[in-house]
């Protein structure tokens, strides 16, 4: 933590961050409750993960013990969530990990994590929009017999432009411009539908469970196929560690996969500034949404692996195919519909998180200040929202993002590491701060969170690390070329407001 205003590690105090939120031109409307935040969290977490990753992990990595993999991944996320909850309630400012880093580690690390989050949320939004488009085209073809023209089906379907993905992002952009309360209401409706479908899977599936499908619950260990090069996990390249499928270690291999089904609870922290009582509601929203989703994930996994032998599970639509395997096409159709509807909220909340990080960086001067001006009526960062919405819509329309989607995963884990480190640093440098929620057992819990996140990062492919490194290098160039000179903190000595 540096007080040298010429240092790239200069910090912005918590008090300065909170004062910035009181400037009328750059203030966001406080309209969200703990319920709204919990709905946001559940809305963004329950998505492609529960509808797809369950089958992949069970079939390839852990069998019925995939339920334990969800528990392990949930514990890793819970460790990070405890750190997020302390920061979000202590520093109730838009920007999530970016803002937390600025107040604890310094400007350059804050810029790095902000740059990382911009990539994470932007690509996440585009990837989910493309996935949603695929579900809609499938439902239209299956139930209505109407097939989208190839040219408008997107690159992943052999076309040129993905019209549905493009239009979805534009519509959600308009909703977010009007206000977060409206988006919270829409999210609540869609989440209700999505959770109903998940509960339907659990309750209806109970009547079709066969005990034989649970034997063995932890299948015998098998070595993974030999691999190397850029597609090999970094841990294998660095340490010669050879991951296994099935067995006890297969559970942890599966955990590194299904962890990505939990991505999203950290997005709740980006709405801290728009929360009525962040000191009370942020911890409830973050931890509550994570707990609800973990319970649902474990229950769904136990039911589905009990309905169908893990070796026969579909890697693309395991829940729907499990019901087809027991001659229940109605439930299979309902699940497909729930998946397509559910992805709408995932896309919306990722876009919300993206705009709030961009807004916070702009308000601090690290990006052009014009993007931190809020709408005079709706009190939303409409300029940043429109800019990012249009850019992401174009990316979703024209680009196949299968490889780039892995950057979303490494970016999230990197943010977890930085937030946990920030909790330790701020406890030492600002023990006087009022903390309505305190991460227990500091520094043990944050250190454990960092270690767990780093382990999952090491299980990602080498080429993902290379792409991530290139994006970070570009970000550092932008910081020293623009952000460092235009930072409001750099002018603190001449600015009477500080």
> Which tens digits make up the pLDDT trace of 314-355?
766 678 778 888 888 788 777 777 777 777 878 887 888 888
d(CA 393, CA 5) in angstroms, rounded, equals 39
- pLDDT at position 470, please? 92
Q: What is the mean pLDDT of residues 62-84?
A: 90
Identify which of 85, 100, 38, 72 has the alpha carbon closest to the alpha carbon of residue 439.
85
d(CA 11, CA 364) in angstroms, rounded, equals 12
Burial (CB < 10 A; 0-12, 13-18, 19+), residue 412, is buried
Q: Does position 151 have pLDDT exceeding 50, yes or no? A: yes
Under the banding of pLDDT at 50, 70 and 90, the label for residue 493 is: very low
- pLDDT at position 173, please? 93
39 vs 220, which has greater pLDDT?
220
Strand partners, 10: 2
Quick one: how far is CA 332 from the chain centroid?
27
- pLDDT at position 127, please? 79
Are 119 and 411 in contact, with CB atoms under 8 Å apart?
yes
Q: Is the peptide bond before 382 cis (omega within 30 degrees of 0)?
A: no
Are 188 and 198 in contact, with CB atoms under 8 Å apart?
no
HSE at residue 431, side-chain half, CA atoms within 13 A, is 2
Q: What is the greatest pairwise CA distance in the chain?
A: 73
Task: Please give the share of the chain, as a percent, with pLDDT higher than 90.
Answer: 18
Under the banding of pLDDT at 50, 70 and 90, the label for residue 111 is: very high
Q: Which helix (H) or strand (E) holds 366?
A: none
d(CA 418, CA 86) in angstroms, rounded, equals 14
168 vs 434, which has greater pLDDT?
168
> Which tens digits make up the pLDDT trace of 21-37?
666 665 666 767 777 77
Q: Does position 415 have pLDDT exceeding 80, yes or no? A: yes
Q: What is the mean pLDDT of residues 183-201?
A: 79
Are 152 and 163 in contact, with CB atoms under 8 Å apart?
yes
Identify which of 22, 119, 66 has the alpha carbon closest to the alpha carbon of residue 464.
119
Q: Does position 497 have pLDDT exceeding 70, yes or no? A: no
What is the distance in angstroms between the CA of the first residue and the CA of the last residue of the chain?
Answer: 18
Helical spans, DSSP H, in 140-212: 163-178, 180-205
Are 362 and 369 in contact, with CB atoms under 8 Å apart?
yes
d(CA 391, CA 383) in angstroms, rounded, equals 12
- pLDDT at position 213, please? 92
């Amino acid at each position: 933590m540096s007080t040298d205003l010429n240092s790239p590690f200069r910090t912005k105090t918590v008090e300065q961050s909170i004062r910035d939120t009181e400037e009328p031109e750059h203030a966001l409307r406080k309209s969200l409750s703990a319920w709204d935040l919990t709905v946001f969290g559940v809305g963004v977490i329950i998505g492609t993960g529960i509808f797809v990753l369950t089958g992949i992990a069970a079939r390839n990595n852990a069998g019925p013990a995939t339920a334990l993999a969800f528990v392990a991944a949930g514990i890793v996320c819970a460790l990070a969530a405890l750190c997020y909850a302390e920061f979000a309630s202590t520093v109730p400012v838009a920007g999530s990990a970016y803002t937390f880093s600025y107040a604890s580690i310094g400007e350059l690390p804050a810029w790095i994590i902000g740059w990382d989050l911009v990539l994470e949320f932007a690509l996440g939004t585009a990837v989910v929009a493309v996935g949603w488009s695929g579900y809609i085209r499938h439902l239209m073809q299956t139930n209505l017999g109407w097939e989208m023209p190839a040219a408008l089906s997107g690159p992943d379907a052999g076309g040129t432009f993905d019209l549905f993905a493009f239009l979805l992002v534009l519509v959600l952009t308009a909703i977010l411009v009007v206000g977060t309360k409206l988006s919270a209401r829409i999210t609540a409706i869609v989440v209700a539908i999505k959770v109903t479908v998940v509960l339907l899977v659990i309750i209806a599936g109970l009547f079709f469970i066969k005990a034989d499908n649970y034997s063995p619950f932890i299948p015998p260990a098998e070595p993974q196929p030999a691999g190397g090069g850029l597609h090999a996990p970094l841990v294998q390249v660095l340490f010669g560690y050879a991951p296994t499928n099935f067995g006890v270690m297969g559970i942890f291999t599966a955990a590194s996969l299904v962890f990505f089904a939990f991505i999203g609870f950290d997005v709740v922290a980006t709405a801290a500034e728009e929360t009525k009582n962040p000191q009370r509601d942020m911890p409830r929203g973050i931890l509550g949404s994570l707990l609800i989703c973990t319970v649902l994930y474990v229950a769904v996994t136990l039911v589905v692996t009990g309905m169908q032998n893990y070796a026969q599970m579909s890697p693309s639509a395991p829940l729907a195919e499990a019901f087809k395997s027991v001659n229940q096409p109605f439930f299979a159709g309902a699940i497909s519909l729930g998946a397509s509807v559910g992805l709408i909220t995932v896309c919306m909340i990722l876009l919300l998180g993206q705009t709030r990080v961009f807004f916070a960086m702009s308000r601090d001067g690290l990006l052009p200040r014009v993007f931190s001006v809020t709408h005079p009526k709706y009190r939303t960062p409409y300029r940043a929202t429109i800019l990012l919405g249009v850019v992401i819509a174009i990316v979703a329309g024209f680009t196949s993002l299968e490889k780039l989607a892995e950057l979303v995963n490494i970016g999230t884990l990197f943010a977890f590491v930085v937030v946990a480190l920030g909790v330790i640093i701020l406890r030492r440098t600002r023990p006087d701060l009022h903390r309505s929620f305190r991460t227990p057992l500091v520094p043990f819990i944050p250190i454990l969170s960092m270690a767990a996140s780093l382990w999952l990062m090491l299980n990602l492919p080498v080429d993902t690390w290379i792409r991530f490194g290139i994006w970070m290098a570009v970000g550092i160039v932008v910081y020293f070329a623009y952000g460092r000179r235009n930072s409001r903190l750099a002018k603190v000595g001449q600015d009477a407001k500080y």
